[in-house]
Amino acid sequence: MDEVYSNAEIKSSIITGSGAKAFVAGADITEFGSLSIEEGKTLAKRGQDVFLKIERSPKPAVACVNGFALGGGCELAMACHFRIASDNAKFGQPEVNLGLIPGYGGTQRLVQLIGKGRAIELLISANMIDANTALQYGLVNYVVPQEELLNKAVSILNIVNTKSPLAIAACITAANAVWDESKDGFAEEINAFGNCFGTDDMKEGTTAFLEKRKAVFVGK
């Protein structure tokens, strides 16, 4: 994500698993047995910091969920700006089976994405849901055959990447403010909207519209 943030050549990113079986099947449980309370808190804080960096990225990050997205894998998918699932995908937060809870933001983002009632049921039952249920719940935007998964993400991002990078970043920031109690989302929107008027991209976008041509945005 540091590279995504700093490399101007990168317009967006896709996060997916290797192979057909799993997106991320969860943590290595053998690491947990010897952790103290404070070490557990440190582990959760480190994971949350990484996932917040994904969520707050000014460039869209899309999760292509192929197979199992369990525990931290489900949390990773939820940290992305939206999710596309293959038809064999499975989602779940099974931590209560270990006497634990999600620690990388899962209790918060699951409620945000699918609502409190459904989220708590999944959290306390440790049940998995399939891709079509995830679509019904609003956890994913699309379900596609596995062989079409990356192509679907690329087709969307090819459109997104033609838009103003500054406007995209502002949309992400304003949308994230909905759930940030330290911010007034409407005020964030006002400021971001106003700031757009000081950009070359806005001038190019409006000029191109009036001239009936495609805009060429440069991110300035």
- Looking at the annotation, which residues are catalytic? 75, 95
Contact 161, 76 (CB under 8 A): no
Edge-to-edge strand list for the sheet holding 90-92: 22-24, 68-70, 90-92, 129-130
Q: Please list the residues that pair with 56 across neighbouring strands.
A: none
Q: Distance from CA of residue 39 to its chain's centroid?
A: 26
Amino acid identity, residue 157? L
Q: What burial letters (b/e) apply to 97-127, b meaning 16+ CB within 10 Å?
A: eeebebbbbbbebbbebbeeebbeebbeeee
Q: Are strands 82-86 and 22-24 parallel, antiparallel or unpaired?
A: unpaired
> What tokens appear for 157 in the block?
């991002």
Q: What burial letters (b/e) apply to 132-163, b meaning 16+ CB within 10 Å?
A: ebbbebebbbbbbeeeebbebbeebbeeebee
